[in-house]
Amino acid sequence: MGITVCGVTMTINHPVVAARKSVGAFTLIELLVVVAIIGVLAGLLLPGLAKAKNQARKINELSSSKQVVLAWHLYADDHAGAVLPGYRYGYEAHDFQGHDIEHPVNARYPWRLAPYLGNSFDILYANENRRLLELFRQQANPELGTYAASVFPSLGINSVFVGGDDVELPPVPKAVEKFGSFCVLKLHEIQRPAGLMTFVSARGAFDGTGAPAGFDGRTVAGYYKVLPPYLIGRRWAVDWRESDGADAWGHVSPRYQSKSIAAHADGHSEVLGLRELQDMQRWADPADRPDWTLSARP
């Protein structure tokens, strides 16, 4: 502060005056320290937030899987104990307006299971897949939306060994005669309901058919069926790599820190790791070892 006396200006550096001048100001060093502290806190918090978000997604899909397997049981109750077909031809399915659905849409499980879920596809499309479902609902051509919605539910059905798969190995009398009763078609046939998977976290890729803008060729968190690691021989890649195509692990998606959600025939769901997902005793009711394969009867 300057004071003029007899034409001479004097500067007074009083502590109170200096303090007032510094109020609300920060030095560069102080700013850098604050920025560093914020960076450290962000580094500590972000992994925790990401982990919490992943846990929430896992719990949400786990909840969906329990509702899906309950609907699977309701279907069997309504069909004299016959389990939901995995991927089978010739079964009737209808959209929400009651119109017949044609092949191949009616061969997939979502539209056959939907009536036992209160006609709610929101249960079938969990987490990030919910946005995908909204895109399907907005399709200008309703038939295209019906088709697309049948392809990418979050959980794929264990079609080969539960309900049957007319593409991979149809459970027809000739196949049963050759390999024995490899596929469960009735609830009462299941010997190990707590160990037999019915639905598993899945992933698939758009092939152009029914793909919304920007999705052609994109891999998404869902597919209508999952295929086993072994059939006649090993079918999966040795190691799980997210960068591989969806079919490298039979459309199974270990998306929760290398783990998947799996619903079982007794109605319970659990989280399975890579080793458990490759255990054929969880895929096929007659399997008696992890690397079990189908073999012709002598």
Spatial separation of the C-alpha atoms in residues 55 and 103, rounded to whole Å: 37
pLDDT, position 53: 84
Q: Which domain holds residue 250?
A: 63-282
- In angstroms, the first-to-last Cα distance of the chain is 108
In a domain, 138, yes or no: yes
pLDDT, position 189: 96
Q: If residue 74 lies in a helix (H) or strand (E), which one and from where to where?
A: helix 28-78
pLDDT, position 213: 60
In a domain, 21, yes or no: no
Q: pLDDT tens for residues 26-36?
A: 687 878 888 88
- Residue 112 phi, psi (nearest 5): -80, -30
Please state the pTM of the whole predicted model: 0.83
In a domain, 29, yes or no: no
Lowest pLDDT segment from 41-55, 128-142, 147-161, 231-245: 41-55
Q: Which has the closest alpha carbon to 240: 221, 230, 228, 253?
A: 253
3-state helix, strand, coil in the chain (%, to 5): 35, 15, 50
What is the percent of the chain where pLDDT is above 70? Answer: 87
Provide the domain count of the chain: 1
In a domain, 133, yes or no: yes
pLDDT, position 12: 47
In a domain, 291, yes or no: no
Lowest pLDDT segment from 11-25, 69-83, 178-192, 278-292: 11-25
In a domain, 26, yes or no: no
In a domain, 55, yes or no: no
pLDDT, position 20: 46
pLDDT band at 210 (very low <50, low <70, confident <90, very high): low
Q: Which has the closest alpha carbon to 91: 71, 73, 70, 115?
A: 115
In a domain, 69, yes or no: yes
Beta strands 259-264 and 225-226, pairing class: unpaired
pLDDT, position 281: 98
Spatial separation of the C-alpha atoms in residues 295 and 272, rounded to whole Å: 27
pLDDT, position 211: 60
Lowest pLDDT segment from 32-36, 90-94, 240-244: 32-36
